[in-house]
Chains A and B, each alone.
Chain A
Amino acid sequence: MKLHIQNGRLIDPANGIDQLADLFIADGKVAAVGTAPGGFVADTVIDATGMVVAPGLVDLSARLREPGYEYKATLESEMQAAVQGGVTTLVCPPDTDPVLDEPGLVEMLKHRARNLDLANVHPLGALTMGLKGQALTEMAELTEAGCIGFAQAEVPILDTNVLLRALQYAKTFGYTVWLRPQDAHIGRGGVAHSGPLASRLGLSGVPVMAETIALHTIFELVRSTGARVHLCRISSAAGIELVRAAKAEGLPVTCDVGVHHLHMTDADIGFFDSNARLTPPLRTQRDRDAIRAALVDGTVDAICSDHTPVDDDEKLLPFAEASPGATGLELLLSLTLKWAEELHGSEALLRALAKITSQPARTAGLAAGQLSVGAAADVVVFDPNARWTVDGAALASQGKHTPFLGFEVTGQVRATVVGGRIAYQR
């Protein structure tokens, strides 16, 4: 199929392009930008007048809840949510049930995702069997099955020696280890940022040092092993500072932040709003400001949706009993644009989109997130000015809970193209 997306403002951060340009797609790949290749006759034309045409979004953390938690969400619903949100490539953590620690499970997930033919799914394999932090998984086999890295999701490794071995082993084969820095003991059972708000509400806290202690440990292990580590969901100003220093030192580390942490603070918990119960917890305004500054200076490589569908039964509970997490695939674009509004300069939009396209792709070692000629034609067409109100019932995701419910946001997806095929259009 040949597709012609015309009259749009084409923004391709990977190639530094931000201009009015047509996009030509043939055989699932980008055929040309600007002028049609010789003899190009489009089967379908999308008029993108007034729209932005950008690479499909690359999301470094989206929980699809399959296998095991189909009552919370299914691959169908979440992949639909992805394309409605303009996300064409997503990385999913291994904390499914059973956990992704066997090649067969990974192959099945990849197979199911391929059959749906919506977004591209790249699983992370479990770093240790059952995420128990004891025995290493068959990383080579899992890589062959399609894993792009290895992670512990939300389960910190108790035994630092196992983490050391895991990093040595990963380094041997050149695999990336994805870790969310979280001490196994400090802050365990905590449900909100440790500070005045948690103290006032009588909620048990997760102190910033739960993150910084883990970062110190990880950096020391990286120094010793040389393993490449991607740090997930940095949440604090102090954590950001440590990552900045580690990068300056030349350690092979990258990092992402969850999109909620760009906008919200623990004050948004208000009167025990369980929609604001997230992991890691929302922190203070100072932390939020540090995250924003770190995105600008490059300390933070990517913004992810941290999409975590939770059903009503697990959210309509007292705050500490509610499951953490929020739906995010359909909000990633708008919430990133919201941040872009506050950036200055003519390249604000390009720089913001880089954090959800080219940079996460590079971080994950994927060829996605770009509109170079010959690249896979994963494209999002969105109206940068359309305003909409976040309404759980209107979301495609089975997860209806987000602290942004009722907020008016800007930027709406009009079409999502995956591998040259229109996967979503409105």
Chain B
Amino acid sequence: MPKLHNHPQLNKNGELQHLLTIEGLPKAIIHHILDTAQSFVGISDREVKKVPLMRGKSVFNLFFENSTRTRTTFEIASKRLSADVINLNIQASSTSKGESLLDTIDNLAAMHADMFVVRHAQSGAPYLIAQHLNRMGQNDIHVVNAGDGRHAHPTQGLLDMYTIRHYKQDFTKLRVAIVGDILHSRVARSDIHALTTLGVPEVRAIGPQTLLPSGLEHMGVRVFNNIEEGLKDVDVIITLRLQNERMSGALLPSAQEYFKSYGLTPERLALAKPDAIVMHPGPMNRGVEIDSAVADGKQAVILPQVTFGIAVRMAVMSILAGGRA
């Protein structure tokens, strides 16, 4: 009785229909997105920061969970592609009284949306939307996952890969460490899938046991509880944001103790390779997961990440809208 699970983000021809996760995404598609992004990086430096690739297309930013930063980057990316952007902040959970998630989608589809950029607090919510659109035969509507629960944040993962490629070129010679709250991090999951797909020989996850999900090593990472050991000789450090609500309670005693045990300080950074780069998906908690001296230091590439993020999101959207990947 085997049941086939066709990946809902690829169409019958194996092309990208939606971007839901980096897991299972062919290496060639990832590189194509990064190459396309590279061609967009220069646009932002021009006087007229626009290309007409999505002129006349409607992009709906559906944010079921609050996020100013990610929504803004998608909005800028859409506008630079000449698309019309509609922002919808739907804070209420889909199970609360009122319209269900799929009713909302049906209504927006009836308004001839071309793309949904979805942020949702529940893992898998963009899958539900994409599978629903696939089932309804709405093949010209594309879904971009802008972060779902703890599951995935593929455009962040891709912009992280863009950043690493920009500074380090060859993925196959790197040691990459991801530090912090992996348990709750969709960024960490997307980064891990991207790094392993792109052939990074050693991906490390560093954190206290309370912030590491069970079976993490099955995702192809080496797990370290000790940050000093974990950072030794790495080329790239990805520091994760520690959410305020995790800073005290049963997972961690205090932000201070977290900084003491896992904060990225200049001393700890010195354990990595001398040319190691420091990344952070933002927004940063200075003095919690990262020391200001590191955040503002010359090894930090946190602001370039933001710049590249626009180009990567433009690449993803234009590829989806163009129907080719």
Binding site for B on A (CB under 8 A): 194-205, 207, 263, 268, 270-272, 274, 313, 316-321, 338, 404, 406-409
B149 interface neighbour in A207, A313, A320, Cβ under 8 Å? A320
Please, which residues of chain A bring their CB within 8 A of the CB of B3? 268, 270, 406-407
Instruction: Report how far A250 CA is from B301 CA in the complex, Å.
Output: 65
Do B128 and A199 touch across chains, with their CB atoms under 8 A apart? no
With contacts A196-B218, A199-B213, A408-B1 taken as known, whether A271 is within 8 angstroms of B151 at the C-beta atoms is no
Q: Nearest chain B CB to A301's CB is how many angstroms away?
A: 25
Kindly state whether residue B23 has any CB partner on chain A within 8 Å: yes
Which residue of chain B lies nearest to A205 when distances are taken between CB atoms in the complex? Answer: B214
With contacts A195-B214, A207-B214, A407-B3 taken as known, whether A319 is within 8 angstroms of B122 at the C-beta atoms is yes
Kindly state whether residue B66 has any CB partner on chain A within 8 Å: no
Please, which residues of chain B bring their CB within 8 A of the CB of A203? 123-124, 149-151
Do A320 and B131 touch across chains, with their CB atoms under 8 A apart? no
Please, which residues of chain B bring their CB within 8 A of the CB of A200? 23, 189, 218-219
Which residue of chain B lies nearest to A318 when distances are taken between CB atoms in the complex? Answer: B122
Do B128 and A317 touch across chains, with their CB atoms under 8 A apart? yes
Instruction: Report how far A109 CA is from B72 CA in the complex, Å.
Output: 56
Do A321 and B95 touch across chains, with their CB atoms under 8 A apart? yes
Do A202 and B1 touch across chains, with their CB atoms under 8 A apart? no
Do B219 and A318 touch across chains, with their CB atoms under 8 A apart? no
Which residue of chain A lies nearest to B131 when distances are taken between CB atoms in the complex? Answer: A271
Instruction: Report how far A318 CA is from B102 CA in the complex, Å.
Output: 10
With contacts A317-B95, A318-B94 taken as known, whether A272 is within 8 angstroms of B100 at the C-beta atoms is no
Do A199 and B219 touch across chains, with their CB atoms under 8 A apart? yes
Q: Is the interface of B mostly helix, strand, loop or mixed?
A: loop
Instruction: Report how far A194 CA is from B183 CA in the complex, Å.
Output: 12
A316 interface neighbour in B100, B148, B215, B218, Cβ under 8 Å? B100
Do B215 and A199 touch across chains, with their CB atoms under 8 A apart? yes
Please, which residues of chain A bring their CB within 8 A of the CB of B8? 271
Please, which residues of chain A bring their CB within 8 A of the CB of B213? 198-199, 205
Kindly state whether residue B321 has any CB partner on chain A within 8 Å: no
Instruction: Report how far A205 CA is from B148 CA in the complex, Å.
Output: 17
Interface residues of B in 128-182 (CB under 8 A from A): 128, 131-132, 148-152
Please, which residues of chain A bring their CB within 8 A of the CB of B189? 200, 202
Do B124 and A316 touch across chains, with their CB atoms under 8 A apart? no
Do B1 and A201 touch across chains, with their CB atoms under 8 A apart? no
Please, which residues of chain A bring their CB within 8 A of the CB of B149? 202-203, 318, 320
Q: Mark B1-17, 1 if CB is under 8 A from A, else 0.
A: 10101011000000000
Please, which residues of chain A bring their CB within 8 A of the CB of B125? 318
A272 interface neighbour in B102, B124, B150, Cβ under 8 Å? B124
Instruction: Report how far A119 CA is from B66 CA in the complex, Å.
Output: 51
Q: Nearest chain B CB to A267's CB is how many angstroms away?
A: 9
Please, which residues of chain A bring their CB within 8 A of the CB of B219? 196, 199-200
Instruction: Report how far A268 CA is from B1 CA in the complex, Å.
Output: 12
Please, which residues of chain A bring their CB within 8 A of the CB of B152? 202
Do A202 and B102 touch across chains, with their CB atoms under 8 A apart? no
Q: Give the interface size class of chain B.
A: 20 to 34
Which residue of chain A lies nearest to B93 when distances are taken between CB atoms in the complex? Answer: A321
A-B CB proximity, top 5 nearest: A202-B150, A272-B124, A202-B151, A196-B215, A318-B122
27 contacts between A and B (CB under 8 A): A194-B214, A196-B218, A196-B219, A198-B213, A198-B215, A199-B214, A199-B218, A200-B189, A202-B124, A202-B150, A202-B186, A202-B189, A203-B123, A203-B149, A263-B1, A270-B5, A271-B5, A271-B127, A272-B127, A313-B100, A317-B100, A318-B148, A318-B149, A319-B124, A338-B1, A404-B1, A408-B1
Q: Nearest chain B CB to A306's CB is how many angstroms away?
A: 19
Do B148 and A202 touch across chains, with their CB atoms under 8 A apart? yes
Please, which residues of chain B bring their CB within 8 A of the CB of A274? 128
Please, which residues of chain A bring their CB within 8 A of the CB of B214? 194-196, 198-199, 205, 207
Please, which residues of chain A bring their CB within 8 A of the CB of B102? 316
Instruction: Report how far A272 CA is from B23 CA in the complex, Å.
Output: 14
Q: Nearest chain B CB to A382's CB is how many angstroms away?
A: 19
A271 interface neighbour in B7, B132, B150, Cβ under 8 Å? B7
Do B123 and A318 touch across chains, with their CB atoms under 8 A apart? yes
Q: Nearest chain B CB to A210's CB is how many angstroms away?
A: 13
Kindly state whether residue B255 has any CB partner on chain A within 8 Å: no
Please, which residues of chain A bring their CB within 8 A of the CB of B123? 201-203, 272, 318-320
Which residue of chain B lies nearest to A404 when distances are taken between CB atoms in the complex? Answer: B1
Q: Nearest chain B CB to A99's CB is how many angstroms away?
A: 22
Kindly state whether residue B216 has any CB partner on chain A within 8 Å: yes
Interface residues of B in 91-136 (CB under 8 A from A): 93-95, 100-102, 120, 122-125, 127-128, 131-132
Instruction: Report how far A207 CA is from B101 CA in the complex, Å.
Output: 30
Instruction: Report how far A321 CA is from B128 CA in the complex, Å.
Output: 12
Which residue of chain A lies nearest to B122 when distances are taken between CB atoms in the complex? Answer: A318
Do A317 and B151 touch across chains, with their CB atoms under 8 A apart? no
Instruction: Report how far A201 CA is from B127 CA in the complex, Å.
Output: 11
Do A272 and B128 touch across chains, with their CB atoms under 8 A apart? yes
Instruction: Report how far A388 CA is from B247 CA in the complex, Å.
Output: 54
Instruction: Report how far A384 CA is from B128 CA in the complex, Å.
Output: 37
A321 interface neighbour in B7, B122, B150, Cβ under 8 Å? B122
Which residue of chain A lies nearest to B212 when distances are taken between CB atoms in the complex? Answer: A199
Q: Nearest chain B CB to A136's CB is how many angstroms away?
A: 32
Please, which residues of chain A bring their CB within 8 A of the CB of B150? 202-204
Given A319-B122, A321-B93, 11 more pairs with CB closer than 8 A: A194-B214, A196-B214, A203-B124, A205-B213, A271-B5, A271-B131, A274-B128, A316-B128, A320-B122, A321-B95, A406-B3
Interface residues of B in 243-286 (CB under 8 A from A): none
Looking at A201, A202, A204, A274, the one whose CB has the most chain B CB atoms below 10 A away is A202
Which residue of chain B lies nearest to A338 when distances are taken between CB atoms in the complex? Answer: B1
Looking at A207, A270, A318, A338, the one whose CB has the most chain B CB atoms below 10 A away is A318
Do B128 and A409 touch across chains, with their CB atoms under 8 A apart? no
Please, which residues of chain A bring their CB within 8 A of the CB of B101? 317-318
With contacts A201-B124, A202-B149, A318-B128 taken as known, whether A195 is within 8 angstroms of B94 at the C-beta atoms is no
Do A317 and B94 touch across chains, with their CB atoms under 8 A apart? yes
Please, which residues of chain A bring their CB within 8 A of the CB of B218? 196, 199-200
